[in-house]
């Protein structure tokens, strides 16, 4: 598949959210990446349903919702109602991951699993066939603008190897510290979706920054 770009709304200007959403609508971006943080699973609180509903009102592309929250099962229906196309839960936050993924799919959403930098790929061995998307965290979740962890390349390759023959359609998303300096190498290693917060919103021309990531050719 051609790679997708998912700008992270966490880095947008919340006082000008409509403007930034329109920018993404009109850009070459594919998804809106939405970071939900509860102050428990991660040491930060981002935003909740009122803001998400405001985003959903204006967004014209799929919402890729990344839940950095404990006990996500309680809120899956609410995220669906607020427009989520993809719901990604953290492996580290789910005691009954198989059940959670089933519930996400039953809502008609893509079911994603995010793993922290310290979590090995092989814990996904017995669930890989039930996952639509794996989000490899390339920073410790909680904040935008952090430095990319280089070990992520090895995890992309290991994940692609693990999925081969069991889930050839698996979408591999990379989240954290992604930008023009590493995007092409990540795609060559096997990534399909690049999340970019700081690299887009701190750029002089965010729309151009998105185009530059989108137009990379990894063939």
Which residues participate in the annotated binding site for a divalent metal cation? 33, 35, 66, 175
Partner from Zn ion, ligand DX5, none binding residue 178, C-beta < 5-8 Å depending on class = ligand DX5
Q: Residue 35, interface with ligand DX5 (CB under 6 A)?
A: yes
Among 3, 33, 155, 160, binds ligand DX5 (CB under 6 A): 33
Footprint on residues 173-202 left by ligand DX5 (CB under 6 A): 175-178, 195-199
Closest distance between ligand DX5 and the C-beta of residue 12, in Å? 10
What is the spatial distance between Cα 148 and Cα 136, in angstroms, rounded to a whole number?
11
Stretch that binds ligand DX5, among 23-31, 98-106, 115-123, 134-142 (CB under 6 A): 134-142
Among 119, 146, 167, 211, binds ligand DX5 (CB under 6 A): 146
Going across the sheet that includes 110-115, the strands are: 4-7, 193-196, 171-175, 133-137, 110-115, 84-90, 63-68, 32-37
Dihedral (Cα; 13, 71, 77, 19), 10-degree rounding: 0
Numbers of helices and strands, H then E, in the chain: 8, 8
């Amino acid at each position: 598949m051609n790679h997708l770009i998912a700008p992270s709304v966490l880095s947008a200007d919340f006082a000008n959210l409509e403007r930034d959403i329109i920018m993404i609508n009109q850009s070459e971006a594919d998804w809106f990446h939405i970071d939900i943080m509860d102050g428990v699973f991660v040491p930060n609180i981002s935003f909740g349903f009122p803001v998400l509903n405001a985003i959903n009102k204006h967004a014209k592309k799929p919402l890729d919702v990344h839940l950095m929250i404990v006990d996500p099962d309680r809120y899956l229906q609410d995220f669906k109602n607020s427009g989520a196309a993809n719901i990604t839960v953290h492996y580290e936050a789910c005691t009954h991951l198989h059940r959670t993924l089933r519930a996400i799919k039953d809502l008609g959403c893509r079911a994603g699993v995010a793993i922290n930098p310290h979590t090995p790929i092989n814990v996904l061995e017995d669930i890989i066939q039930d996952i639509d998307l794996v989000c490899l965290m390339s920073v410790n979740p909680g904040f935008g603008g952090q430095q990319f962890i280089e070990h992520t390349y090895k995890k992309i390759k290991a994940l692609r190897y693990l999925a081969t023959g069991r889930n050839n359609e698996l979408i591999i998303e990379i989240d954290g510290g992604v930008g023009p300096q590493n995007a092409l190498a990540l795609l060559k290693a096997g990534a399909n979706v690049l999340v970019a917060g700081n690299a887009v919103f701190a750029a002089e021309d965010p729309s151009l920054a998105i185009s530059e990531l989108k137009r990379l050719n990894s063939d």
